[in-house]
Amino acid sequence: MQKCVMIHDDSLRFSRAVYGALVLAAFLIHNYWLVLVTSLLMAAGTVSLKLNIPYQLHALSVKKPGKNDASMISKDPGEITFVSGMTAAMLFAGFLLLYFGKFTDFAWIYVLIVVLLIFLACFVGFCVATMMYVFFKKAFAQKTTRAGRTCG
């Protein structure tokens, strides 16, 4: 069983908002290099939460010494990795379609849909990739005992 990690929920939402804003800007100015840069930044955050630059900047700015932080939540590290990796892969697929000039109009619509999904996760709190993670985890999980703490 994986250990839970404590993360700043506000910082996670902020990092999603930054990534969404970057890709929305890329869509508005039709700059596929900005899609690539955002995809690479998200991929770095997949490797480690310490490499998620917007998250770390926001977490440092809100950290108050000696104060019990109510915005800290417990998350499964696999979920955070899966969501970040899935979003980075989707953006990279959009970049590849744009770079090679295949189905350009479709690719920009696809990128816009990814932006809408990022903003849905950021502002509403409903993340499609998290739902996919939960589904895959339940579908591929072997029978295990219920002993131990679960993330939640």
Q: Show the tokens assigned to 119.
A: 């903003």
pLDDT, residue 145, reads 45
pLDDT tens digits, the chain, 152 residues: what are they?
457 777 888 888 899 999 999 999 999 999 999 999 999 999 998 888 888 888 888 888 876 654 456 667 777 788 888 899 999 999 999 999 999 988 999 999 999 999 999 999 989 888 888 888 888 888 887 655 454 555 65
CA distances from 16 to 31, 58, 106 (A): 19, 11, 23
Q: Where are the domains of the chain?
A: 5-140
pLDDT, residue 142, reads 62
CA distances from 47 to 15, 23, 42, 99 (A): 15, 20, 9, 25
Start-end of H helices in the chain: 9-29, 32-47, 53-62, 77-99, 104-119, 128-140
pLDDT, residue 77, reads 81
**Residue type, position 98, single letter:** L
pLDDT, residue 74, reads 78
Core vs surface per residue 43-76: b (16+ CB within 10 A) or e: bebbeebeebebbbebbeeeeeeeeeeeeeeebb
